[in-house]
Amino acid sequence: MNKVEFKNEIKKIEIAYNKEFSTAELKLWFKEFMTIDIKEFEEAIDKTIKEVKFTPKIADVRARISINPNDYYTNDLYAYLYKNLEWCKIVK
């Protein structure tokens, strides 16, 4: 996703919740979602606007993304070779 696509989608939140994001907030949101496909992000924004009553947080939008970006680690054939496995348990 590029910045223009991101701004078009984030504008939906600004209009729906009557909130204007500061540049620091926009940078934070963009860094969080820059690796997400634009279609997934658009669907998550639309679901969030329909379901969340108050101004959403990053976690609200991330929870509505249908493809979990962290699945990539659990589906990896060589996951047992990763050094930092203290934070999770990979079950196969």
Confidence label for 81 from pLDDT (cuts 50, 70 and 90): low
Q: How many CA atoms lie within 13 A of 55 on its CB side?
A: 9
Residue 1 CA to residue 45 CA, distance in Å, equals: 14
Closest CA to 17 of 39, 50, 58: 50
Exposed/middle/buried for residue 26 (C-beta within 10 Å: 0-12, 13-18, 19+): middle
Residue in the block written with tokens 């997400």: 36
Model pLDDT, residue 10: 95
* Domain ranges within the chain, ordered by starting residue: 3-66
Tell me: pLDDT of 67 over 90: no
Model pLDDT, residue 80: 61
The pTM (predicted TM-score) of the whole model is: 0.70
Model pLDDT, residue 90: 57
Closest CA to 19 of 33, 32, 29, 4: 29
